[in-house]
Chain A
Amino acid sequence: MSNRHKKPSSFGSRGPHRHMGGRTIEKAKDPKGTLRRLFSYLKPFKLQLSIVAALVVTSTLLSLLGPYFIGVAIDQYIATSDVEGLLQISVLMLSTYLASSIFSMGGGWMMATIAQRVLRNLRKRLFEHLQTLSLSFFDRRPIGDLMSRITNDIDTINQALTQNVTQLITNLITSVGIIVIMFGLNVWLALGSLLAFPIMVGIAALVGKRTRSGFRSLQMNMGRLNSNMEETLSGERTVIAFEQQKKALASFNRINNATRDSAIQAMSYAFLIPPLMGILSNVNIAVVAGLGGWLVINGFATIGLIAIFISYSRKFAQPLRHIANLYNSIQSALAGSERIFEIIDKQPEIQDDPDAVPIGKIKGEVIFDHVNFSYVPEVPVLKNVSLHAEPGQTIALVGPTGAGKTTIVNVLTRFYDIHSGNIMIDGHDIRKVQKDTLRKQMGIVLQDVFLFSGTVIDNIRYGRPDATNEECIAAAKLADADQFIRRLPKGYKTELSERGSNLSQGQRQLLSIARAIISDPSILILDEATSSVDTRTEVRIQKAFLKLMEGRTSFVIAHRLSTIRNADQVLVIDKGRIIERGTHKQLLKQKGFYYNLYMSQFKGIDLTPKKYAKTRSEN
């Protein structure tokens, strides 16, 4: 048991963590590393990407020929009045441009597909990773923020990938190509037109730093805004009942404004760069014209050459402006990626041991041996809990709210790992077996009923995907849900709205019981399974439960003690300790905690015929 503690304890990492949705802007991370990881998602498309690159490069090179042809046309044909030649070079230009467009379309078309595939993979990876994380992770993370990462943050990458990868290639080649050609034509003119270039790059780099941190705080605020809206909207009914819309709006307004402000900041910096690049191009033209004019006058260049240079200078501006825009969207994508990789890098606190084995069909012997557990370090929830359930036994867990009953379920299912002690099922330490094979054999009805949107029968089938319709209906009948389901507009095919809000709470519980029944578990766990069900229905379900519990080890948490009278063992839990144990009858005889608890439910009810008669006579 001790070697397991080599893993970082799940609670060690709880530590003094950032507050949820952390307000502080994190320190600049490693942009190169993030970019490299982002590129790793492009790897599977290496072949397609090289085709795209080839297409785009070809297209760009072809389009670069354009201005050159213009100069040729002016110097060789127009100057010499060669009409025939002018036509030929025009046709040549036309076909070059046409070919360039076709190649560029092909590249863009392919890239569109690749980019979306990459995004799908990224979303998939993120979602699947989330599914492996432990509950304690979700306890700390606002749902809205996680959602924002999968949608808003991935969208920043979408912007960068779809619009920009091909453009980046085009623009880089264009600018490099132009530089090369210019140097080939006239070194002095070329040097002149590049004069302002280093200054602009310097400014861009300076602004870029600000841009990235701006986008980072923008994405973080988007996450906070999304969490705020998600929490309020999913609790909207409470907001309405308490007429607290104003309060909801106030907190929303605060975050909405903060998001706006950080957007203004990020965007203002981001969009400084393109106009700066615009200056560069015009300065270039001026330099070329001025310097070129001097060269022509002194016989070092021709007018045609200047025409070519001016044309290239203008062309040079376009890719620079694009690269500046690209730079922004890459900054924004980097900020988004950081948030995505932050989640992907989270290790599940509860992981299968590398040598964990499938547990196999279990008989259902459950042993807790001096189990200690707490959710937060200072507040122990389970203290030295020991219990022994024989296969097929029914164990009732009884005690005041907050005593730790649900926590026993949480550690038995390995939703959380215990601090010290041992939990054994059929003699296996549950930390040494694959947790999926364990949970698959447990049927759990959780206290908080959660249904998914979809049909009624889909929700029942959630317990076992391969269950037939008949089996689902049989389970519903057993859970006493069949009757109300048939009265629904479309019976078993009725669509449930979000979390089943079109059903009553009791009906939702009945469905979740059916869902547990269909999973045909070896260990059955009922955590307040019928708390919102009326007692007459409960009596009927009770009978079903008794049948269901035959041959299965069952843990039953219930406050209505009538539910637990037939249990093989009743464990009374108070403040995280088992304080009494025995059968119902034994515990009543003890006249201890359980006795009082049991009696309290009849307080006020006149049980004896005499008292009952008295009440009657009073009326």
Chain B
Amino acid sequence: MSALTRIIRFVKPYKRDAILAMIFLVLVVGVDLSIPRLVQVIIDQGVTPENMEVIFNTSIIMIGASILSALLIIINTLLSVRVAQNFAADVRKSIYHKIQSFSFGNLDNFQTGRLLVRLTSDINQVQMVVFFSLRMLIRAPLLLVGSIGIMIATNYQLAMILLMLLPLTLLLTVVFIRIAQPLFKKVQKRLENINQILQENLSGIRVVKAFVRRNYENKRFDKANIDLMDQNVKFARLISVLFPIMLLLINISAVAVIYFGGLQAIVGSFTVGEIMAFISYLLSTMFPMLMLAMMAGQISAANVSAERMIEVIDSVPRVQDKSGAVALPKIKGRVIFKDVYFSYNGSGSEPVLENINLVAEPGQTVAILGATGSGKSSLINLIPRLYDVTKGRVSIDNIDVRDVTQSSLRSQIGICLQEAVLFSGNIRDNIKYGRDDAAEEDVITAAKAAQAHEFIMSFPDGYDSVIGQRGVNLSGGQKQRIAIARTLLINPKILILDDSTSVVDVETEVKIQNALWKLMKGRTSFIIAQRVSTVLSADKIVVLNGGKIVAEGNHAELMKKSPIYREIYESQLGNGGNINE
């Protein structure tokens, strides 16, 4: 239950309301307990001695008491709802906050669809426990203790017989939790599976349609669906037997009261009114016992959910600001890789980059070429610390990137990732994504440089055109150009373009290129590109192969000394190099 207690701490800010809610319930218990006693008064002091006044007055008191109790319950409910929902929102916020502190390395481990289950269904489980606790946690045991106390006071012997049932109930509850918890863990796991399949299917729907794999997808989903059903059935069956058993225990007690109480009444040591009151108290123990049993089920489920949330909350961001990290001062843009090794899963696994040594002087343009999977993206991801090096160091202006705050680092580096992810909203918002306060002229300037202005203006709503989720209504090249504009707008000292124009047509690319040459002046730039034409005029071209730098120099130098580079160069031109053919 430790996971649950940790999560429950989020109730703290609402302590006052929570306590208030429970206090109101204490009063309710008082009213609840007084009712059977009042009934007893009516029978023993009103009906039996035929005293109409007592009957009448007591009845009025009873009605008043029950209205009072209802009002108290309503206040409690309103408070409990508020506390529980605020709690849920806070927990969700805190988990979401945590995810926002993740680095790329963490994201490799958590799939979106799975995170979403933790942010919704799991939170809901715990929220329900908080809610029911506020309504029941005080009331049920108090009612239980109060009823038992009164029963003992009324008839000691009879009460003792009933109390023997208590340990049995307790045992039953413990056994139940033991069985329920692992069952529920599997339920949530399978819910996650189904959500992940769903998320993938919906985001890859074009591929599903293109390959006509509807039936396959249906089967895949239904398999997860059936798995979930089976597990849910097990869990629901467990709950379905719990209640009748609890109910049976209580009914057995009622029979015991009638029998043993009846025997005493025959002897004359017990009145009929007392038997009635006794049974009433018995029934008021039934309510809290059922509630506690139900809570036991929910608590065990909530604990599982809490564990799953804590898994996210306790994940350590792979890239973190050092304690005492300072803001990176305004940089000139000298980037140095010194003996850098990198692998995605720490030093044990296959290195993706080995022994990288590279210097980019301020204002230089460095182009990176290499085969698919040779480590180009991995290399440039190290500069803004999207991942941390496994060994060696990356420094900017001789400051290790790990010594400064991530925000000060990234605010001076513009990186255009390979996949142009746009967000729903209009085009202007997307371009301004990295700089909210950008002026309209700056937005247009950036869009013009990225050769996006013209097509944006061809839309009826121009910069206000709404982009569907993930930019569905734009062509691939258009998305890339908006992504470039977005990067240019933050006016970075270091500019990184990771194959950012791969699906832009050549002519447009040349235009972007020309605009960039102007913009790159005074900036250090890293460019990954497949087309040699893009990298020809770079100050330095780095050729990567299998995670190592195999050649470095400008175009002319590399043509002379690097066979791989020559091969790349020739592969671009093919026989078309001779256009007069």
Q: Are A143 and B469 CB-contacts (below 8 A) given A237-B107, A307-B272, A415-B209?
A: yes
**Closest Cβ neighbor of B48 among chain A residues:** A303
- A235 to B555, alpha carbons, bound, how many Å? 36
* B46 CB, min distance to chain A CBs, angstroms: 5
Chain A to chain B contacts (Cβ below 8 Å), 19 pairs: A78-B265, A86-B263, A120-B229, A132-B214, A151-B195, A166-B240, A229-B119, A237-B417, A244-B433, A257-B89, A268-B81, A285-B35, A289-B38, A289-B46, A290-B56, A446-B207, A501-B107, A528-B503, A538-B571
Within 8 A of B (CB), among A528-563: 528, 531-539, 559-562
* A526 CB, min distance to chain B CBs, angstroms: 12
- Contacting residues, chain A, for B510 (C-beta < 8 A): 600-601, 603-604
Q: A3 in the interface, Cβ–Cβ < 8 Å?
A: no
Range of interface residues on chain B? 35 or more
Partner-contacting stretch, out of A5-13, A29-37, A423-431, A434-442: A434-442
Partner-contacting stretch, out of A134-142, A183-191, A363-371, A468-476: A134-142
Within 8 A of A (CB), among B29-61: 35, 38-39, 42-43, 46-48, 50, 52, 55-56, 58-60
Partner-contacting stretch, out of A111-119, A331-339, A352-360: A111-119
**Closest Cβ neighbor of A96 among chain B residues:** B251
**Closest Cβ neighbor of A133 among chain B residues:** B205
Q: B347 in the interface, Cβ–Cβ < 8 Å?
A: no
- A489 to B556, alpha carbons, bound, how many Å? 38
Contact A507 B372 (CB under 8 A): yes
DSSP majority for the B interface? helix
Please tell me the number of chain A residues within 8 Å of chain B, measured between CB atoms. 197
* A88 CB, min distance to chain B CBs, angstroms: 10
- A615 to B554, alpha carbons, bound, how many Å? 11
- Contacting residues, chain A, for B77 (C-beta < 8 A): 268, 271-272, 275
Q: Mark B220-239, 1 if CB is under 8 A from A, else 0.
A: 01100110110011001101
Contact A453 B258 (CB under 8 A): no
- Contacting residues, chain B, for A306 (C-beta < 8 A): 43, 47
Q: B320 in the interface, Cβ–Cβ < 8 Å?
A: no
Q: Are A439 and B209 CB-contacts (below 8 A) given A94-B255, A240-B103, A303-B272?
A: yes
Q: Are A112 and B113 CB-contacts (below 8 A) given A538-B571, A559-B506, A562-B574?
A: no
Q: Are A602 and B579 CB-contacts (below 8 A) given A532-B372, A532-B502?
A: yes
Q: B421 in the interface, Cβ–Cβ < 8 Å?
A: yes
- Contacting residues, chain A, for B196 (C-beta < 8 A): 453
**Closest Cβ neighbor of B283 among chain A residues:** A314
Within 8 A of B (CB), among A428-477: 436, 439-440, 442, 444, 446-448, 450, 452-453, 462-463, 465
Contact B59 A140 (CB under 8 A): no
Q: A150 in the interface, Cβ–Cβ < 8 Å?
A: yes
- A327 to B59, alpha carbons, bound, how many Å? 30
Contact B210 A616 (CB under 8 A): no
- A127 to B99, alpha carbons, bound, how many Å? 29
**Closest Cβ neighbor of B62 among chain A residues:** A286
Known pairs A148-B120, A415-B209 / 7 extra A-B pairs, C-beta < 8 Å: A78-B265, A264-B81, A286-B62, A405-B475, A446-B207, A503-B373, A532-B372
Contact B372 A452 (CB under 8 A): no
* B557 CB, min distance to chain A CBs, angstroms: 6
- A104 to B243, alpha carbons, bound, how many Å? 9
- Contacting residues, chain A, for B571 (C-beta < 8 A): 535-536, 538-539
Q: A590 in the interface, Cβ–Cβ < 8 Å?
A: no
Q: A239 in the interface, Cβ–Cβ < 8 Å?
A: yes
Q: B437 in the interface, Cβ–Cβ < 8 Å?
A: no
Contact B92 A533 (CB under 8 A): no
- A276 to B71, alpha carbons, bound, how many Å? 9
Q: A155 in the interface, Cβ–Cβ < 8 Å?
A: yes
- A615 to B555, alpha carbons, bound, how many Å? 9
Within 8 A of A (CB), among B398-426: 406-407, 410-411, 415, 417-419, 421, 423-424
Contact A444 B210 (CB under 8 A): yes
Q: Are A120 and B251 CB-contacts (below 8 A) given A135-B206, A143-B202?
A: no
- Contacting residues, chain B, for A49 (C-beta < 8 A): none
- A85 to B112, alpha carbons, bound, how many Å? 68
Q: Are A243 and B410 CB-contacts (below 8 A) given A238-B421, A303-B48, A440-B212?
A: yes
* B448 CB, min distance to chain A CBs, angstroms: 15
* A524 CB, min distance to chain B CBs, angstroms: 12
- Contacting residues, chain B, for A87 (C-beta < 8 A): 259
Contact B505 A275 (CB under 8 A): no
Q: Mark A585-596, 1 if CB is under 8 A from B, else 0.
A: 000100000001
